[in-house]
Structure 1
Amino acid sequence: MGLTMSYSKTALISGASSGIGAVYAERLAARGFNLVLVARRADRLSTLAEKLQQAGSTSVRTIAADLTNEADIGRIENVLRNEAIDLLVNNAGMGPNASTAVMSDADAAATLALNVNALVRLTRAALPSMRTRKTGAIVNVGSVLAFHALPSTSLYSATKAFVLTFSRGVQQEVKDDGIVVQALLPAGTITEFYGTAGLSIDDFDPRVFMTAEQLVDAALAGLDRGEEVTMPSVHDQHLWDDFDAARQKLFGGTQNGAPAERYLVA
């Protein structure tokens, strides 16, 4: 079960004005999807929409919205509740490069609002219609930092761990409803995300960083395969299989009703 099944082909993409979101728009338009593109920057959305429409007959609608703003996120929820959206790409996100104590209150709040709250609310808004129609797909863009935190990524890593765990839970909830939920976990990818650090494309080692085009092509291939977790940069699939098996074994070992012997006072 994956993206190649029968769809009426309308996709809503958040964070669509640049980087990974813009490449998703290009690739999905090429697959025949009509698009609803959501981002803060109306000018960039308009430029992208014009480019896509010149390339083919795809219908492209743009909605300028800041998903950390209550009124704006409410508008996007209404689209998902009231229209037949077959594919939701939760791509909008941010990650200030700062330690917990140094990060501004505004950046901390915005990171939680965008990476966690917006993703949950848009997913919840999309699911009822998909369940009724017994078809649909949701892509939640996380990060390999879901497994690892650096001194300057504590909050960002925590939000991406949330994305992974939330996605895995929703997968179980909708497994009998014809809905595919994919947790996409990119590693280093060349986008404007790194622009705030003053990096240019010449600073990226292609042995470590992939392009947004490579990432999205791999992500869509994984979605076509019905993958629940897609890590485009991980060549050895057994790494994930072993990790997931260890996770399940560890959880199974927690249900014992008594403290472990190492915590008992002699």
Structure 2
Amino acid sequence: MPMSTHAGKIAVVTGASGGMGAVFAQRLADRGYDLLLVARDKARLESLAAAITARTGRRAEVLVADLTQDAELARVEERLRTDTAVRVLINNAGGGLFGPLATIDPSAASALIELNVTAFTKLAAAAAAGLGAQGDGVIVNVSSALAVGVLPISAVYSGTKAYVLSFTQALAKELAGTGVRVQTFMPGATGTGFWNGSGLELADIPDGLVMSVTDAVDAAFAGLDAGETVTVPSLPDSDWSKLRADMQTLAPRFSGSEPAARYSDRRTGDTQQPK
């Protein structure tokens, strides 16, 4: 069922100052939500808020926060937990880091994990508590196609986004029946400033692999309206359904009391020693 207009209800968008976050904000305002826009860049947030209000008449509040700073992150968490008008979290803030693991700056890797995993988790937990108490709402967690289509230079980034995928699938099961819907959005390469300084430039990606940010976000909403838990904008539904069915078949076999024969036959003592 499509999200309907919710006058007086608030959608929180992190990473809202540009790229997908800004388009998510625009689309949510079109659907009748007031907005709480979260990012570090005050000037860009205020410009976006003013443009949205002028175009749609929706209220757009700005909350300047660096989500890797505990005190600033806590301000956003508090709103998600306690503001009874909040009905949507677009958990979009994140960064990229590409390059051989052995040469990546460890502090940069730690900062990426802090943003893409730790802050992400705290915000989702706060939203689950706040929306769960209302018995209504939507959490959209932005992952990436690189959660599954890993590159040799994407170890840290892909690891963080694989976490988002597994986390969201588990959270969706946890919140089933509560009135809170959960979606993982897994875009491929999109034409945004995300790539700048990441170690992988947009110009290095073939044009045929890059989707416009508006098309990607519109696909996210189409998937949400269709009731999808996982939305991959460029992937035919039959392909994801097949993968999911295969995983559901295999999942019960991941835990058992005995090793599979190909392993048990090779255990010490079960094979002949070379002469």
Is TM more than 0.5 here? yes
- Is 1:87 equivalent to 2:88 in the alignment? yes
* Higher alpha-carbon Rg: 2
Partner Cα separation in structure 1 for residue 256 and residue 2 of structure 2: 38
Partner Cα separation in structure 2 for residue 87 and residue 31 of structure 1: 12
1:81-120 to 2 correspondences below 5 Å: 81-84=81-84, 85-120=86-121
In structure 2, what is the equivalent of residue 167 of structure 1?
Answer: 168
RMSD: 1.8
**Segments ≥4 residues shifted beyond 4 Å:** 5-8, 197-200, 202-206
- Is 1:30 equivalent to 2:30 in the alignment? yes
Count of equivalent residues: 264
If asked which structure has higher relative contact order (CA below 8 Å, sep 6+), I would say: 1
The alpha-carbon deviation at position 40 of structure 1 amounts to 0.8
In structure 2, what is the equivalent of residue 67 of structure 1?
Answer: 67
Partner Cα separation in structure 2 for residue 102 and residue 241 of structure 1: 38
In structure 2, what is the equivalent of residue 78 of structure 1?
Answer: 78
Paired amino acid for 2:263? Y
Partner Cα separation in structure 1 for residue 179 and residue 88 of structure 2: 13
In structure 2, what is the equivalent of residue 156 of structure 1?
Answer: 157
Q: Note if contact 1:7-1:86 (Cα within 8 Å) is conserved in structure 2.
A: no
Report the 3-state secondary structure (helix = DSSP H, G, I; strand = E; otherwise coil) of the residue aligned with 2:196: helix
Partner Cα separation in structure 1 for residue 94 and residue 72 of structure 2: 15
In structure 1, what is the equivalent of residue 248 of structure 2?
Answer: 248
Paired amino acid for 2:177? D
Partner Cα separation in structure 1 for residue 7 and residue 141 of structure 2: 19
Partner Cα separation in structure 2 for residue 73 and residue 57 of structure 1: 28
1:208-227 to 2 correspondences below 5 Å: 208-227=209-228
The alignment's TM-score, normalised by the length of structure 2, stands at: 0.91
Paired amino acid for 1:103? I
In structure 2, what is the equivalent of residue 179 of structure 1?
Answer: 180
Paired amino acid for 1:186? P
In structure 2, what is the equivalent of residue 18 of structure 1?
Answer: 18
In structure 1, what is the equivalent of residue 267 of structure 2?
Answer: none
The alignment's TM-score, normalised by the length of structure 1, stands at: 0.94
The alpha-carbon deviation at position 32 of structure 1 amounts to 1.3
In structure 1, what is the equivalent of residue 147 of structure 2?
Answer: 146
Q: Call closer, same or farther: CA 1:60–1:169 in 2, change over 3 Å.
A: same
Q: Call closer, same or farther: CA 1:205–1:153 in 2, change over 3 Å.
A: closer
Paired amino acid for 1:70? D
Gaps of 5+ in 2: 265-269
Deviations 1:86-127 (A, max 9, x none): 000000011112221211122111111111111110111111
Report the 3-state secondary structure (helix = DSSP H, G, I; strand = E; otherwise coil) of the residue aligned with 1:187: coil
Paired amino acid for 1:210? M
Query: Matched residues, percent identical?
Result: 38
Partner Cα separation in structure 1 for residue 80 and residue 126 of structure 2: 6
Mean CA deviation greater in 253-262 or 39-48: 253-262
Q: Note if contact 1:13-1:89 (Cα within 8 Å) is conserved in structure 2.
A: yes
